Amino acid sequence: MLNAAQEILRKVYGYSTFREGQEKIINSILQKRDTLGIMPTGGGKSICYQIPALVFPGTTIVISPLISLMKDQVDALAGLGIPAAYINSSLTQTETEQRMQSAARGEYKLLYIAPERLESEQFQSFLSAFNIPLVAVDEAHCVSQWGNDFRTSYLSIASFVERINPRPAVAAFTATATSGVTQDILRLLSLQNAELYMTGFNRENLSFSVLRGVNKKDFLLRYVKDNNEQAGIIYASTRKDVEDLCKLLCDNGIAAAKYHAGLGDEERKHNQDAFLYDDMRVMVATNAFGMGIDKSNVRYVIHYNMPKNMEAYYQEAGRAGRDGEPAECVLLFSPQDIQTQKFLIEQSVSASDRKAHEYKKLQSMVDYCHTQECLRAYILNYFDEQDHLPSCGNCGNCNQEYDLTDITIEAQKIFSCIRRMNERFGITLIAQVLKGSKNKRIAEFGFDRLSTYGVMQEYTEKAVADLINLLIAEGYLDLSGGQYPVVRLKPKAVDVLKGMTQVARKVRSKKQTAQAGNHLFEQLRQLRKELADRDGVPPYIIFSDSTLREMAQYIPSDETSLLAIKGVGEAKLQKYGQPFLDLLRQHVLQKSFVSPVR
């Protein structure tokens, strides 16, 4: 059966070889084994269940959490000539009934459904009568209350699978799962003797950077203007920020769309489609936008505010560079972001154990924003992936020139102050004592009589707080959990107080963004946009940016050589091959008329 899968990969999808991990996962599913695949965003998860669905007789059920994800997947499958459909709340009752009838007749190879549908006994009973060889669960981390985006409806999946006779294979996929969440997925989906495949969280084509202390709006305007030909996503924490930033960009002549839960369904759909179809280059959104979006040519993701945890950040940042081409992920940090996320935790989480867990994950995100070590290594360590170099050479902490500044004296002042305050207070009050603030609370505690009171008065309170956060991120200090965390000394700090070790801080220069141009590539993109508008599909459904770059590099002249380009399968060759070949041949002819200078 693996031979059949490889033939489908070549003929239908236009690729000669599987990506890392895909072949093993597909082979496991073809053997009807329950399978859990943990793969990075853009790692090709969908092929891992779509190809077995095409090999197996019957209809594969795909459980997906968002309407936009289903639509994108079904549109892409239609472009490949594969019969597929989705059933979710975007359909009318009549449309739903028509699709259910078609599904009952076996007209679809893949049927995408929202997990909430499984809360209906009637719907479960209807589906279980089908010939279902495989149930694929996308964004499987949603089943765990300790994961990102917990959905109670995912808890109905296991009972649905058990009522199907014969029991189908279950394939679950996620891009963001710590070891604890992985165990929850295996247990709560009732995966039987499951094969677990982790292809790694590393996205080598993504460059990560964190900027602190910059004027966020000025940076945003400059960056978007410098990258005005590229598609990008800007994430903000609140609806108000989204509205303000979108207006700022539009007022400065930048075509930007917005997306958040406060907009009407029609406006959200219109804005999302404008972005997917490249009619709008920039999308400003809350985290309500993007899960499962398959737009492959997003060249940058900017987080205007710090997200709530590393899972959310990596999932959102991972929407850049899904085509494997270089892309940038920039996080703009300010201390206010911490307070915003604490407020959101207090508003959205009631259970004390879960609240403590969310605060712990928030602190990991704060540490990421302050660490001086490799940002990629920090992310991979968070997801328990140790097999990587300590320096990646492709993040803001690795690929910039910097000077080491000795801050041992400043660190000793901070550590000494924390000790004299009996390790019972938070960052803000410690910074105020060191600054010499006249805060009434300081006088009430008698901290204005400490020898460390005012010993860093030449600094602003913000600068002192930044130093404390840096020392927390670098492992000198510990921060308790909760809404009001307390700073404590770690053994590493005691060594500094004793004069046994020194502390250094990196002072970085600004990174300059350079975009390489390619005239032929831009012509191919323009042709793709014209064909996409003609067919009413997003441009990336036709060909990804990486496919167009390969065309521009090798300039295929006939159907055989065009088929050798990654991402060009027989269905797309038949549908779109000729106009691209015409453009490529015209390019060759134009070059041949240019006489060399003698």
Q: How does pLDDT run across 183-221, given as a tens digit for each residue?
A: 999 999 999 999 999 887 888 899 999 988 778 998 999
Residue 455: predicted pLDDT: 96
Residue 429: predicted pLDDT: 96
Residues 42 and 187 both lie in one domain: yes
Residues 417 and 374 both lie in one domain: no
Q: Which residue has the higher pLDDT, 128 or 422?
A: 422
Proportion of the chain above pLDDT 70, given as a percent: 94
Domain annotation covers residue 135: yes
Residue 44: predicted pLDDT: 84
Tens-digit pLDDT profile for residues 396-421: 888 776 667 889 999 999 999 999 99
Rounded mean pLDDT, 481-505: 89
What count of Cα atoms within 13 Å lies in the side-chain half-sphere of residue 39?
A: 25
Domain annotation covers residue 598: no
SS3 at position 241 = helix
* 305, 236 contact by CB (below 8 A): yes
Tens-digit pLDDT profile for residues 538-580: 888 899 888 998 999 889 988 888 988 988 988 899 899 999 9
Among 158-162, 446-450, 585-589, name the one with the lowest average pLDDT: 585-589
The average confidence (pLDDT) of the chain is 88
Residues 391 and 447 both lie in one domain: no
DSSP secondary structure of 137-185: ESSGGGG-TTSTT--GGGGGHHHHHHTSSSPPEEEEEES---HHHHHHH
Domain annotation covers residue 9: yes
Give the CA angle between residues 497, 483, 466 to the nearest 5°.
40
Tens-digit pLDDT profile for residues 344-391: 888 888 788 888 888 999 999 999 998 988 999 999 999 887 666 677
pTM beyond cutoff 0.85: no
Given a cut of 70, whether residue 595 has pLDDT beyond it is no
Domain annotation covers residue 514: no
Polymer length in residues for the chain: 598
Residues 503 and 548 both lie in one domain: no
Residues 477 and 494 both lie in one domain: yes
Cis amide linkage into residue 166, ω under 30° from 0: yes
Residue 148: predicted pLDDT: 65
Domain annotation covers residue 369: yes
Total count of domains within the chain: 4
* 318, 215 contact by CB (below 8 A): no
Residue 389: predicted pLDDT: 66
Given a cut of 60, whether residue 495 has pLDDT beyond it is yes
Confidence of residue 515 (pLDDT cuts 50, 70, 90): very low
Residues 393 and 426 both lie in one domain: no
Residue 516: predicted pLDDT: 38
Q: Which residue has the higher pLDDT, 313 or 517?
A: 313
Specify burial of residue 439 (Cβ count, 10 A radius: 0-12, 13-18, 19+). Answer: middle
Tens-digit pLDDT profile for residues 315-349: 899 889 988 899 999 999 888 888 889 888 888 88
Query: Domain with 502 in it: what CATH number?
Result: 1.10.10.10
Residues 323 and 307 both lie in one domain: yes
Of 476, 508, 540, which marks where a domain is finished? 508
Tens-digit pLDDT profile for residues 122-159: 888 888 888 999 999 998 999 988 766 788 899 999 99
Rounded Cα distance between 154 and 184, Å, is 12
Among 305-314, 471-480, 508-517, name the one with the lowest average pLDDT: 508-517
Of 483, 508, 533, which marks where a domain is finished? 508
Residues 193 and 268 both lie in one domain: no
Domain annotation covers residue 490: yes
Number of Cβ atoms within 10 Å of the Cβ of 407 = 17
Residues 356 and 496 both lie in one domain: no
Query: Domain with 532 in it: what CATH number?
Result: 1.10.150.80
Domain annotation covers residue 597: no
Rounded Cα distance between 550 and 199, Å, is 25
Q: Which of the 8 DSSP states describes residue 481?
A: -
Write out the residue range of the structural domain in which residue 98 sits.
Answer: 2-198
Residues 443 and 382 both lie in one domain: no
Number of Cβ atoms within 10 Å of the Cβ of 409 = 12
Residue 133: predicted pLDDT: 96
Residue 320: predicted pLDDT: 93
Residues 433 and 375 both lie in one domain: no
Residues 234 and 379 both lie in one domain: yes
Given a cut of 70, whether residue 178 has pLDDT beyond it is yes
Residue 597: predicted pLDDT: 43
Query: Domain with 52 in it: what CATH number?
Result: 3.40.50.300
Of 198, 220, 255, which marks where a domain is finished? 198
Read off the tokens for 554. Answer: 């090798």
